[in-house]
Amino acid sequence: MQHASTAKDKTILVAVRPRDVPQVTDVLGSEFSLVITHSMEDAVAELDERIGFVACGVHFDSGRMFDLLRHVKSHAPFNALPFYILLGSGRYSPQIMHGIRSAAKLMGASGFTDLSVLRETYGDQAYARMRQVVREALSGPGNDVLAGRPVSEGSGQAHDR
Residue 158, domain member (yes or no): no
Q: Is residue 15 part of a domain?
A: yes
Q: Domain range for residue 134?
A: 11-19+29-143
Q: Is 152 inside a domain boundary?
A: no
The number of distinct structural domains making up the chain is 1
Q: Is residue 90 part of a domain?
A: yes
Q: What is the pLDDT of residue 7?
A: 55
Q: What is the pTM of this model?
A: 0.82
Regarding beta strands 33-37 and 111-114, do their DSSP bridges make them parallel or antiparallel, or are they unpaired? unpaired
Whether 157 is in a domain gets the answer: no
Bridge partners of 85, per DSSP, are 56, 112
55-102 pLDDT, tens digit per residue, is 999 999 999 999 999 999 999 999 999 999 999 877 788 899 899 999
* Residues 91-141 pLDDT 10s: 788 899 899 999 999 999 999 999 988 999 999 999 999 999 999 999 865
CA proximity to 71, closest of 23, 105, 109: 109
- Closest C-alpha among 30, 60, 29 to residue 43: 60
Residue 154 placed within a domain:
no
* Paired strand residues for 13: 35, 54
Task: Order across the sheet with 33-37: list the strands.
Answer: 33-37, 11-15, 51-57, 83-87, 111-114
